[in-house]
């Protein structure tokens, strides 16, 4: 039979110290944070989940200014104006955008057809992005509160808006009508 391993006094103190440290940390966490939510991803998801507004009677064929007004009304109803990106801009998935995106190639197909560093077709696949509550000043720029955004720049636009940038600043980088 095997006997219990013989531990020296330093090892025993170390084990006791580790147990005590873990207990103190656990007590401290409960005191400072209360019961910790076991599903913090739910909070993250609620904050960043995209909201789809489908109102065919109102939005089908609507001008982008009409879409903006509807979106701004929704943002006000949530009481989240300028809270974060989700409430600062919306993407418009209309019939034209669906047709364009339906023609899009996978990155592998595009690379095979055009080579590694071809960007010529990347501006073909875009969505209109509409800014809520833009501060439009006449004569300053051609920005009208919206712009076409390539699907390859959506993440860049999203993070820029999250950093406090206004869409008008991004519109300075528009080439051939697409950001």
Give the residue extent of every domain in the chain: 40-171
> What tokens appear for 16 in the block?
């006791």
Residue 70 clears pLDDT 90, i.e. is over it: yes
C-alpha to C-alpha distance for 72 and 76, rounded to whole angstroms? 6
**CA angle, corner 94, sides to 129 and 102, nearest 5?**
100
Report the C-alpha dihedral over residues 93, 146, 123, 140, rounded to 10 degrees: 170
Arithmetic mean of pLDDT, 103-116: 82
Greater model confidence, 164 or 25? 164
Q: How far is CA 68 from CA 3, 50, 59, in A?
A: 76, 16, 10
**Residue 133, C-beta contacts closer than 8 angstroms, at least 6 positions apart:** 72, 75, 81, 82
Determine what percent of the chain is predicted with pLDDT higher than 90.
18
> Is the full-model pTM beyond 0.95?
no
pLDDT band at 39 (very low <50, low <70, confident <90, very high): low
- Please list the residues that pair with 127 across neighbouring strands: 149
Arithmetic mean of pLDDT, 165-169: 87
Arithmetic mean of pLDDT, 132-158: 85
**Residues 178, 122: contact at Cβ < 8 Å?**
no
Report the C-alpha dihedral over residues 120, 171, 130, 159, rounded to 10 degrees: 80
C-alpha to C-alpha distance for 84 and 99, rounded to whole angstroms? 30
Arithmetic mean of pLDDT, 124-129: 90
Residue 5 clears pLDDT 60, i.e. is over it: no
User: What is the pLDDT at residue 75?
Assistant: 93
The phi, psi pair for 46, rounded to 5°, reads -60, -35
pLDDT band at 132 (very low <50, low <70, confident <90, very high): very high
């Amino acid at each position: 039979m095997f006997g219990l391993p013989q531990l020296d006094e330093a090892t025993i103190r170390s084990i006791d110290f580790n147990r005590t440290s873990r207990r103190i940390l656990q007590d401290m966490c409960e005191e400072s944070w209360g019961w910790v939510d076991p599903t913090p991803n739910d909070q993250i998801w609620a904050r960043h989940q995209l909201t789809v507004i489908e109102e065919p009677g109102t939005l089908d064929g609507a001008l982008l200014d009409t879409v903006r007004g509807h979106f701004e009304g929704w943002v006000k109803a949530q009481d989240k104006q300028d809270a974060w990106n989700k409430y600062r801009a919306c993407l418009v998935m209309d019939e034209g955008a669906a047709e364009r995106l339906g023609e899009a190639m996978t990155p592998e197909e595009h690379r095979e057809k055009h080579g590694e560093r071809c960007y010529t077709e990347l501006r073909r696949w875009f969505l209109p992005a509409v800014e809520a509550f833009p501060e439009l000043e006449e004569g300053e720029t051609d920005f009208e509160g919206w712009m076409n955004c390539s699907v390859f720049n959506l993440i860049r636009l999203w993070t820029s808006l999250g950093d406090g940038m206004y869409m008008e600043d991004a519109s300075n980088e528009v080439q051939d009508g697409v950001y």
